[in-house]
A and B are shown apart, each in its own frame.
Chain A
Amino acid sequence: MIKSNKFQTTILYIILIGLAVIYILPIFSGIMISFVPGIDYLGGSLFPKSLNFENYVKAFQNANVPRMMINSTITSSLIVTAQLIVSSLAAYAFVFLNFKWKEPLFFIFLMTMMVPFEATFIANFQTIKAMHLIDSYFGIALPSLASAFSTFFLRQTFKQIPNELIEASRVNGFNHWRVYKDVVMPISKQSLITLAIYQFLGAWNMYLWPLLVSTNNNVRTVQIGLRQIQSEEALTEWGVVMASAVIVALPTLIILYLSQKRLQEGLAEGAVK
């Protein structure tokens, strides 16, 4: 972008440092408290005297955090994998196949984006209950397996694949399933990864639905776990609550840091244009 002179650059740095400090204050205060032992906190100290992992140990031992991390990983992976397959199949049809009612059907897909989750969760809860899937990974994942956003995103990606490539593969005797599996999907690998990361962040952070359909620790995700820890311990053991929050935030933060550039390029391409 525009190059500024040295004076402007210095001002910019000062502004950015100021903003960054304010911005990370909530995380900073949380991390500080997570290292303050319970007794010290009750004594009024907000900063650790030394690097003390007592709260982290407690979070791991008492609060069931590891189990819930595994639960979240399983449900999120389930959602992302299924969603990529389901959405890419649909996107393939919308881009590379000619059929009647293509336009109206795509419009219906887009319509699902307008239906708020809150308008469906009562009935969905009853459906999942009727399927005996309460307290199961599938129960948590099932309503999120199809996604209009993912379909739309992949449609934008597939559109950029030259049609000649598809035609050449068809001429070589590939059926649509093979074109999908051996041509379109490998070519779109980068976009699929971007989408997978984005949807993983979303799935990992799901809150309301897992709250409704998971009632025990065997399947409960970390977000619901945090809610439980918060309601049980917030008054007495702030340190443990904070340590749990930090542990829960860490995997997604790492994923974000590793893929920030990819996300900013991929989302600008796929979501807006």
Chain B
Amino acid sequence: MQNKLILEQKQSSAKVQTKSFTGKDLKVALLFLLPSIVLFSLFVFYPMLKTIYTSLFLTSTGSKLVSFAGIENYLIAMKSSVFQNGFKSTIIFVLATVPLTVIFGFLLAFLTSEKIRGMAFFRLIFSSTMGISVAASSIFWQFMFNPVNGYLNKVMLFFGQKPIGWLTDPKYAIYAVAFATIWMNIGFIYIIFLGAIQSIETSLFEAAAIQGVKKTYLMRKVIIPILSPTFYFVITVSIINSFQAFGQIDMLTKGGPNNATNTLVYQIYQDSFINLNSGRASAEAVILFIIIVVITLVQTKFSESKVHYQ
């Protein structure tokens, strides 16, 4: 009670102070914030607004605005089968990558969180993909998927199966790219989870060990609930990253075969820099923006209501 009073007093005196210093600090604050504000304005807000603006116009190949078109670019995009398929591919891609990346990243972190001999080695191995760029990873995977010499088809042959055109068969291409993407992203997710598990107080694990609980019980009853903020963070980051996956698609399939991997982001790139249709590309970019905003908002809502914060 007394503490609370003191706290309130402190707060009110802090408020008074804040007020009297406002004018002085504002100038300094603006100076400190200036570089960020200028850069964000120039390279985030201005282009974002310009993209929205451009999306409302028909454009010439030189990115010149030709005539106001309202939401026509959106309608044309959404009606086209390429866009619809691309949207579907994007969703499949996200659904195929995110859950597996998060689950594997978490399981690997859980398995290597124990402090025993040799763990440092496994930790290096499992975090290593964070240190390999998308371009280099794509080259490694392109070879894995190689129809003749790649290990995957060697394994298929070993088990008496027919070789598969992983990247050339429209049925498999999106899953193949998704699979490679899971591998590329696990390193980062793994490191986040490992750090989070290690920041849990050790005596909690010791109390559980003394009580003799099973590892599954420990995971269900302790680790997952305590790590819920980490899970939300990791899931959101993974979803957004998956929506924005570009390098691996450009390196492995270039949107093909037969548009099978022509995801939203790849279409934006193609429409703007290859088909030179900025109006349509802008409309698609705005759609992507809206999707990401919605995901972020949903995530924030969820984490506020469901997540346990320590």
Contact = CB atoms under 8 A, between A and B. Distances in A.
B198 A268 contact: yes
B243 A116 contact: yes
B285 A208 contact: no
Contacts of A224: 135
Interface in B253-301: 265, 268-269, 272-273, 278, 281-282, 285-286, 288-289, 292-293, 296
Contact of A97 (B32, B123, B138, B150): B32
Contacts of A252: 131-133
Contact of B130 (A44, A112, A201, A222): A201
Interface stretch (A50-58, A117-125, A185-193): A117-125
Interface of A: 1-4, 9, 12-13, 15-16, 19-20, 23-27, 29-30, 33, 41, 44, 46, 85-87, 89-90, 92-93, 97-100, 102, 105, 108-109, 112, 114-124, 126-127, 142-143, 145-146, 148, 151, 176, 180, 201, 204-205, 207-208, 211-212, 222-224, 226-227, 230, 234, 238, 241-242, 244-246, 248-249, 252-257, 260, 263-269, 271-273
Contact of A123 (B47, B133, B215): B47
B151 A25 contact: yes
8 contacts: A23-B126, A24-B125, A27-B140, A93-B29, A97-B25, A120-B48, A122-B285, A123-B47
B244 A116 contact: yes
Contacts of A253: 128, 131-132
Interface of B: 17-18, 21-22, 25-26, 28-30, 32-33, 35-36, 39-40, 42-48, 50-51, 54, 63, 108, 111-116, 118, 122-128, 130-144, 149-151, 183, 187, 191-192, 194-199, 202, 205-206, 208-209, 215, 218, 229-230, 233, 240, 243-244, 246-247, 250-251, 265, 268-269, 272-273, 278, 281-282, 285-286, 288-289, 292-293, 296
Nearest to B234: A272
B269 A260 contact: no
B50 A27 contact: no
Contacts, number: 289
A19 to B, nearest CB: 7
A112 to B, nearest CB: 5
Contacts of B26: 99-100
Contact of A33 (B108, B143, B285): B143
B112 A16 contact: yes
A116 B292 contact: yes
A26 B183 contact: yes
A247 to B, nearest CB: 9
B140 A93 contact: no
Given A16-B122, A33-B143, A272 B233 contact: yes
B47 A86 contact: no
A125 B90 CA distance: 25
Given A146-B36, A146-B43, A114 B292 contact: yes
Contacts of A126: 63
Given A20-B125, A87-B36, A263 B191 contact: yes
Given A123-B51, A273-B229, 17 more contacts: A2-B114, A2-B208, A2-B215, A2-B218, A29-B151, A41-B149, A98-B17, A98-B25, A109-B40, A116-B289, A119-B51, A121-B47, A123-B50, A127-B47, A208-B269, A238-B143, A260-B127
Contact of A1 (B42, B115, B150, B281): B115
A272 B189 CA distance: 12
Contacts of A267: 191-192, 195
Contacts of B233: 271-272
Contacts of A102: 29
Q: Which of B125, B150, B187, B202 has the most CB of A within 10 A?
A: B125
A15 B111 contact: yes
Contact of A114 (B30, B136, B199, B296): B296
A122 B28 contact: no
A23 B190 CA distance: 13
